[in-house]
Structure 1
């Protein structure tokens, strides 16, 4: 009977957690879509406004385009947030062990959050890649005509490497012109060059994002490792976000407990004597913590978003590996996955992310408390 009761309590909290994460994600997802479009499409000379992004998405995909890729994010965030809070609770249990009031210091919460964010990033990275590709597609004009790749006969291997790619005929003809001075016994130089993917691409430009957005297409063209593209910036982003989120939340929680204890007679010796805090107050603290953490980690979010919007075929990755291509930028940029070309773009959309993260944290914590109280 006791074991059955424990299973019921666990199922209640798990159901409440999944529902709260899904609700928070659904409410704030349009803001996340606009933020991603601004981060991915902005250049150093031009930045799209929120109204322009809304109009662009509605003209290309309709109102439903604001929720493109929602299920990918919902699935990834459910697993990621569950891992974040689960690992945080496990780590803080060691800190609280032996303490009379089960108190966790802000520095301890920060350290536990850093570790929890690392695990969250590993879990959510593939889901986030699919989500971002779907969001970019919702704001892109997809050509309806058949691509030139389908019209021009190419080798089966090249058709796999250059999925839905339109060959640059001008660049290919220019390459043939450069090589025409060489002695060759091949009767048809043009056909021979079409067997090489780097010649077919001409300038080396990869396919568009909307051409490679399904899991099977991404794995076939870019390989399994592409699912974790931008992992360095993602790990730093999620670690910083999770650490600052839990550290700020713990500090606010301590401040609210001290405020509630003012005027109590006799003076409480432990937090248990103060009593539980208001669910609304805890939700507000979570929302503020989420906004602060989003602001602190936003530059790494932009770096990860822009890296996941790049289609990098496997043969180009192999060329870079064989040529021992070094990542450009300073040491800090190389360690954190920030491209030097994005230095002036790292804080684009920071207001939207702060609003999105704050609202999502407030809704998730508040709806979790309501669901637990209702189900219990």
Structure 2
């Protein structure tokens, strides 16, 4: 029947599109080799914005304090916390004179907006090289500052790093969270390496203060709750001013969400910023997601009716070979190899979740960063 012919040839087009992404773009990171850099020793300001993070600061801040770097300060920004966050900051400051505290009070115009608090932290920093992470996040080594900052140069004023999530044994949700992080990282690191940087994660990101001020900070998207990392990078990053740092010692490790509802809310906030991406980035990301949806839908349909099933099965196998090869190499680089066993399940589950989030955000926008 004509309709089945159309579906079959549409499936072939989808496979070609998937091959373009996996073999044309994502392979750039998968097959890349770490660049050799020269260690730097210029002064650095590590900025951590915290809202109700007392326990996390007690647990994770020591890993920042123990960094093997000759000259750095830590700027702790308390964003109107209602717990003991400020007291914990002051406890650490009493023992370390290179800690600076910025206590942010609620301002009606910017209530619940992390970008306002983060801006005050940046203004308080005394050094022009800024390195960002979160209060519930720790570097995996004491070389984090050194590795990230070694990629700064006269032309490179933005350094994009990788932020992983802790592994929770036996948790499917944890594997889904980490798979989404792996896939997202494979995309934004690959695009950055082909000269089209479009986002970064705030738990492992560095840039110069001059770059921040020249872009007028977060003013172009101050009305959104999220986007202090991805929207800022989307706005100012170029092939010439952006570097990628993916050496294993440069990774950070964060606490993952432990309930599905809290993770969905977190992703809703993140996804809400995508509408402000540059058009070319939205098209590229949208086409990849659509091709994923069509791959699963058409593959299941054509195989269920056994239409040209041998060719369809061969194309399905080819597509999974690409995915396993590229994501497998990426997972090896990012220490996420245990996810590969569940790759088809995690991929399909994530597609459904992303569609749910898209619909949910159309109905109601997420509010406040904490």
TM-score range, shorter chain: under 0.3
TM-score scaled by length of structure 1 = 0.23
Between Structure 1 and Structure 2, the one with more helix by share is 1
